[in-house]
Amino acid sequence: MSLNIEDYALIGDTHTGALVGNNGSIDWLCLPRFDSAAVFAALLGEADHGQWRLAPRAPGATVSRRYRGATLVLETDFITPGGEVRVTDFMPHRHVRCDLVRMVTGIRGRVDMQMRLVARFDYGSVVPWVRRQGGDLTLVAGPDALVLRTRVPVRGEDLATVADFQVGAGETASFVLSWHPSHEPPPPPVDAERLLRETVSRWEEWASRCSVGGPFREAAVRSLITLKALTFEPTGGIVAAPTTSLPERIGGVRNWDYRYCWVRDAALTLHSLMAAGYAREARDWREWLLRAVAGDPSKLQTVYGPAGERRLPEWEVPWLPGYAGSAPVRVGNAAAHQFQLDIYGEVMDALHQARCVGIPPERPAWALQVALMDFLESAWAQPDQGIWEVRGPRRHHTYSKVMAWVALDRAVQAVEGLGLAGPVQRWRHLRSEIHEDVCRHGVDPERGTFTQSYGSSALDASLLLIPQVGFLPPTDPRVVRTIDAIQTDLCRDGLVLRYETDGAEDGLPPGEGAFLAASFWLVSALALAGRVKEARTLFARLLTVGNDVGLLAEEYDPLSGRQLGNFPQAFSHIGLVNSALTLAGAGMSPQLGGDPGAPAAG
């Protein structure tokens, strides 16, 4: 695996997605179903584990790429001594099928091109049965089938499908790869040019509804398009990333599967979508959230499948060596069954935000929230695994307790401001009790800063959210000291680490990159505290961390200048949108739905 993580770009159809390298290779594509078995897995292995390469035959071409305007249509230009071609990659929005379209268009001269398709199902472990049906090439393995349609002559070679061809100025060669269940007939052929026009039009119309203004609108639109691409449209769920096991440290074991929907992302995503003018997507996400969390409040999970699936068993893929030798490769996520107290606050805040912007409340939704509050009344005092899903012992994490306060605060606001029914006097009392508990046990008595957990002196990036959820005003001395301490102790080249990963906290080997979402949290915290110049400087720095097409992974290594972790990461792009809204002077709190300027309860 030779490409850096940031060398990839995302294409998708709001059902699934693929990563396209700047060398013309598609190295990652998951099938559009819940278990998401990859059909191209060279990202985590070698080309023989699945890859679709389309590039000039001669090496050394000069490459430039971009998205076509405000769309998810990727254009990659290759300049060779003999001429120039453009490869256009996209996935049309087809609802019931998955098509991956690649078009090679001659710009000038004539260019010798090569196509090499290596399809491997089930994470590179299954070689399909390949046969010709008329002019089509079908590839079948178990429940899955692909059909390749092109006018370019193709041949079999070393368990791959290859083609050598030329493209001259004004000529176009198209390749359409379509997935379908193997027990069903192949889908009918499609017109690639027509699909391209429809796809461009659809994305441009969607992007035109963005209400974000100011100098950072373009970056915000790109992030919102990325969030839309990470949406599983049939249910409204938004996955954290389209990939698994891209490492937080090259060669390390901090490799997790992020192709699922995290509850805590709900509040952050809802605010981004609603504040940017996307009420329908916010409503769909709220409905996903209500369906996913329905049931016994004590069984609330941190993460669910795209349709709200609860069973996400974690297992390792031994035949894949992992990105740059970063093993193990994991499928599933055991964090689904951790106890993370903060998610109760995030659920309550997300639903509160939806009501505040006019998405009508539903009686069953409020009944569910009351049940969550009943459970939280006894559960808030328990230790938990915390926002970072540590796999070590449970602790009384300060941010988790703050979010328990948020849950009670939003419940009280629902009764006082919207006339919903609930034991508001009891909730007010408990809200004050939690606030007092956090201020007594979650503050380092020597430094006067908030701490990662009770009894600890360690810092944690999640503490930057304290003023943004309305727990304390952004100018409170404890908040200001915490911001300053995080800048001193947790920043590397101006970017924020989640916490000091010495292994003591999570039981894993130390070391990871700066966490990009937390770096955007610092932007918002600085802006809310009146330090707007600092905030703008940091935001501009963060924009340079994005790759050439504006995409962000989970983390960034300032020393090597490389992106790390799963890619592209919703959490990072949510942070960018919310920081842009804050710097543009948007009215609501930049992350969650509270009013950080109002006095905290208690």
pLDDT one-digit tens code per residue, 215-262: 899 999 999 999 999 999 999 899 999 999 999 999 999 999 999 999
pLDDT tens figures, 436-461? 999 999 999 999 999 999 999 999 99
Which pLDDT value is given to residue 20?
98
State yes or no: pLDDT of 595 exceeds 60. Answer: no
Which pLDDT value is given to residue 406?
98
Give the predicted TM-score (pTM) of the model. Answer: 0.94
Q: Which residue has the tokens 């399809």?
A: 119
Pull the structure tokens for residue 481.
């000291």
CB under 8 Å to 535, separation ≥6 — which residues? 523, 524, 526, 527, 579, 582, 583
State yes or no: pLDDT of 501 exceeds 90. Answer: no
pLDDT tens figures, 249-265? 999 999 999 999 998 88
Given a contact cutoff of 8 angstroms between Cβ atoms, the answer to whether 529 and 474 are in contact is: yes
pLDDT tens figures, 9-21? 999 999 999 999 9
Which pLDDT value is given to residue 269?
81
Q: How many CA atoms lie within 13 A of 541 on its CB side?
A: 19
Beta-bridge partners for 298: none
393 vs 549, more confident: 549
CA distance 66 to 179: 26
CA distance 124 to 159: 13
Q: Is residue 589 very low, low, confident or very high in pLDDT (cuts 50, 70, 90)?
A: very low
CB under 8 Å to 64, separation ≥6 — which residues? 76, 77, 79
Q: Is residue 96 very low, low, confident or very high in pLDDT (cuts 50, 70, 90)?
A: low
Which pLDDT value is given to residue 598?
37
Q: What Å distances lie between residue 131 and 136, 137, 147, 302, CA to CA? A: 9, 6, 10, 44
State yes or no: pLDDT of 195 exceeds 60. Answer: yes
Q: Which residue has the tokens 């727990």?
A: 471
